[in-house]
Amino acid sequence: MNYKKVLGEVYQQVNKLEDKGTLASYIPELAHVDANNFGVHISTVTGFHYGLGSFQKKFSIQSVAKVFSLCLAYKMLGENIWTRLGVEPSGTGFNSLVQLEKDKGIPRNPFLNAGALVISDILISNLEHPKEELLSFIKSLSKNKDIQYSATIAASEKSVGYRNVALCNFIKSFGNIENEPSVVLDFYFDLCSLEVSCEQLSEMVLFLANNGKTLEDNNEILTKSQSKRINALLQTCGFYDESGEFAFKVGLPGKSGVGGGIIAIHPKQYAIAVWSPKLNEKGNSYRGMRFLEEFTTLSERSIF
C-alpha cells in the first residue's frame, strides 16, 4: 500500500470541501482555536510514518485522552474494572445523565463522561501521584516526550463544567465514586486538557494496532486480549451516539474529542490521527470524519 500517495490524494480532496461545523465554543478556550487547522499523521506497524498539514501542531485532545486513562486502569486492575463500568453503546450524548438512574450509577461504557469519571476515580485510588503517573504513562508511548496538561484549558473547562459536576455527584450518590468529587473532577479536567500533535498521537496509540505492544521496544502495554477488548470498545462506543455512523462509513475502531481530534486503529496495520477543529452536530470533527471515510474507501483498508 502506497500510504503516502493515498493520504495525499484524500487530504487534497477533503481540504477542498466546505468546512462545515462549528468550534466547541461552550469551552471558552477552544473557541479561540484557528478553525483552518487540518492535520493528519499515520504510523504503521512496519515503521512507516507520514504526516500532512498541521500534523505537528499541538491541540487539546479532550476525550481522546480517555483511551489512555482507560488503558492504564485496565492494565492495573485487569477484568475487575468491569464491575464498575459497562461495555455497551450508549445511544446518548457524551454528557448524558439519562441512563445512570436506571443503571444505578454504572456508566454504560468507559468513554462517556460518566465512564471517564469512574476511570479517573479508579486511578486516584490506585496511584500515589495520579496526575504525574498518568502523564508518565502517556509519555512512555511516544518518542517525543514533550506532552503536558494545559492549565489554561483545564481552568476553562472547570469554569463551565456544571454537567460534569452533576454527573460525578450523581455517580457518587450510588457509591461508584470512592474519592471526593472535587478531587475526581480536578483530575478529569486535567486529563481532557492534554495537548498533543497528530504525529505524537498516532504514535501513542500504535500499540493498539500491534497486539498491545509498543513497536520500538516490544514493551507490553496491554495483553493481546486486553488490546482486542479496547479496540472493540473503540469500535462500538468511541463516538457516542454517532458510533454506528462511524463504523458504517469508516469501518475502524476510533475515538473522537471535541477539540477536533480523531484517532483510528487498523489492527495489525496502522494507527492514524486526524485533527480539524470544526465539529458536526454530534460533536465530532466534520473534516476528520470525512477524511477517514474517504481514506478507508480509497485504500480499501478497513476491518470489514
What is the rounded average pLDDT of the residues 62-81? 97
Q: What pLDDT shows up at residue 106?
A: 97
| pLDDT, tens only, 122-174 | 999 999 999 999 999 999 999 999 999 999 999 999 999 999 999 999 999 99
Read off the pTM: 0.96
Q: What pLDDT shows up at residue 90?
A: 86
The answer to whether position 303 is within a domain reads no
Per the structure, the complete domain to which residue 96 belongs is given by 3-298
What are the CA-CA distances from residue 73 to residues 63, 202, 212 (Å)?
16, 21, 14
Nine cell digits for residue 213: 505492544
Out of 51-55, 216-220, 223-227, least confident range = 216-220
Q: What pLDDT shows up at residue 81?
A: 97
Q: What pLDDT shows up at residue 191?
A: 98
Structural domains of the chain, count: 1
Whole-angstrom distance, CA of residue 125 vs CA of residue 180 = 11
Whole-angstrom distance, CA of residue 80 vs CA of residue 247 = 28
Q: Judge whether residue 9 has pLDDT over 90.
A: yes
The confidence band for 91, taking pLDDT boundaries of 50, 70 and 90, is confident
Q: What pLDDT shows up at residue 216?
A: 86
The answer to whether position 11 is within a domain reads yes
The answer to whether position 67 is within a domain reads yes
Cβ-contact 276, 288 below 8 angstroms: yes
Q: What pLDDT shows up at residue 1?
A: 86
The answer to whether position 246 is within a domain reads yes
What is the rounded average pLDDT of the residues 6-23? 94
Q: Judge whether residue 267 has pLDDT over 90.
A: yes
What is the rounded average pLDDT of the residues 26-51? 96
Whole-angstrom distance, CA of residue 42 vs CA of residue 119 = 28
The answer to whether position 304 is within a domain reads no
- The CATH number of residue 278's host domain is 3.40.710.10
The answer to whether position 252 is within a domain reads yes
The answer to whether position 33 is within a domain reads yes
The answer to whether position 104 is within a domain reads yes
| pLDDT, tens only, 196-217 | 999 999 999 999 999 999 998 9
Q: What pLDDT shows up at residue 26?
A: 87
Q: What's the helix, strand, coil split of the chain in %, to 5?
A: 50, 10, 40
